[in-house]
Structure 1
Amino acid sequence: MNLLTVLRELLVLVHLVGFALLLGGWAAQAVRHRYATTTLFRTGLGVMIGSGLLLAIPFPAGVHLDYLKLGVKLAVALAIGGAFGVVITREKAGRPTAVAFWTIGALALLNAGIAIFWHGA
């Protein structure tokens, strides 16, 4: 196992930690029926997007990447960011919205499902 392979596997770990922070923070709020964002799951989204973009770099040599899958996952992650924007804006206005909040959780699970079930050719 060479250094680049180890680095890629570490990035996958960081990506999973970002997802865990996002979904865990979201679930903690959902259980309490508090439809607001927290630093924990905002950080998770940033870690997930950042590490996902780094994982889209084709290293080590010979790694096959499914760019359509990566593009769809990026689009879903950006949609999560948009839902965050709605939730944060509504929080500041004193009118929390459950729909945008639940959308964050649904899209996070969709992104995980794409990662697991989408197998390229």
Structure 2
Amino acid sequence: METLRLILRYAHLIGFALLLGGAVAQYFAGKFKINAAMAWGAGIQVLTGVALSAPLGRAVQPDAAKLAVKGVVAVLIAVMVLVPFFRKRKQEGGAVVASGHFHGIVLMTLANAAVAVFWR
């Protein structure tokens, strides 16, 4: 079970890297677009996060409040990324969103990572 948990954690980190990396690439390109990397990252984050919240034979279980906060934030991020992406996926390079929407995705992604690291 420990191996499965480590594989899920690794996939979760890859999802984070895709989500944040895709956003940073779009930001430095000067375009506020939701790209495929961000969409994949958001999906991977939610799926692996749900799987990681399962007991998986651990002696000490994660804090339920922490899991709830991370889950709600992850679902909000996924909705903010996936809805515009699938509505406008035929556009060249991704779905254009407002700058506040885009910055909200980035800030919530960073906040979700902060909850994971600093909440004990």
Question: AA paired with 1:59?
Answer: L
Q: CA 1:44/1:95 → structure 2, altered by over 3 Å: closer, same or farther? A: closer
Residues 105 and 95 (structure 1), Cα distance of their counterparts in 2 relative to 1, 3 Å cut? closer
Pair 11,52 (structure 1): closer, same or farther in 2 beyond 3 Å = same
Superposition map of 1:12-27 within 5 A: 12-27=9-24
Where 1:110 maps in the other structure, the secondary structure is helix
- Contact 1:90–1:97 at 8 Å: present in 2 too? no
Matched position secondary structure for 2:57: coil
Paired amino acid for 2:59: G
Q: The residue matched to 2:62 in structure 1 has which SS?
A: coil
CA separation of 1:55 and 1:30: change in aligned 2, threshold 3 A: same
Q: Which residue of 1 aligns with 2:98?
A: 97
* Counterparts in 2 of 1:16 and 1:31: CA distance versus 1, 3 Å: same
Higher relative contact order (CA closer than 8 Å, sequence separation 6+): 2
Paired AA for residue 102 in structure 1: H
Q: Is the 8 A contact 1:84 1:100 kept in 2?
A: no
The separation in 2 between residues aligned to 1:71 and 1:48, in whole angstroms, is 14
Structure whose CA Rg is larger: 1
Report if the CA contact (8 A) 2:42-2:81 is conserved.
no
* 1:50–1:14 CA distance, 2 compared to 1 (3 A): same
Q: Which of 8, 14, 17 is equivalent to 2:5? A: 8
Percent identity of paired positions between Structure 1 and Structure 2: 33
User: Counterpart in 2 of 1:114?
Assistant: 115
Query: Which one-letter code corresponds to 1:112 in the other structure?
Result: A
Letter in structure 2 aligned against 1:98: S
Q: Output the CA distance in 1 between the equivalents of 2:97 and 2:81.
A: 12
Tell me, yes or no, if structure 1 residue 59 matches structure 2 residue 56.
yes
SS at match of 2:34: coil
Flag structure 2 segments of 5+ consecutive residues without an equivalent.
none
1:78 and 2:65 aligned: no
Please say if residues 25 and 41 of structure 1, whose CA atoms lie closer than 8 Å, have aligned partners that are also in contact. Answer: yes
Q: How many pairs are equivalent?
A: 115
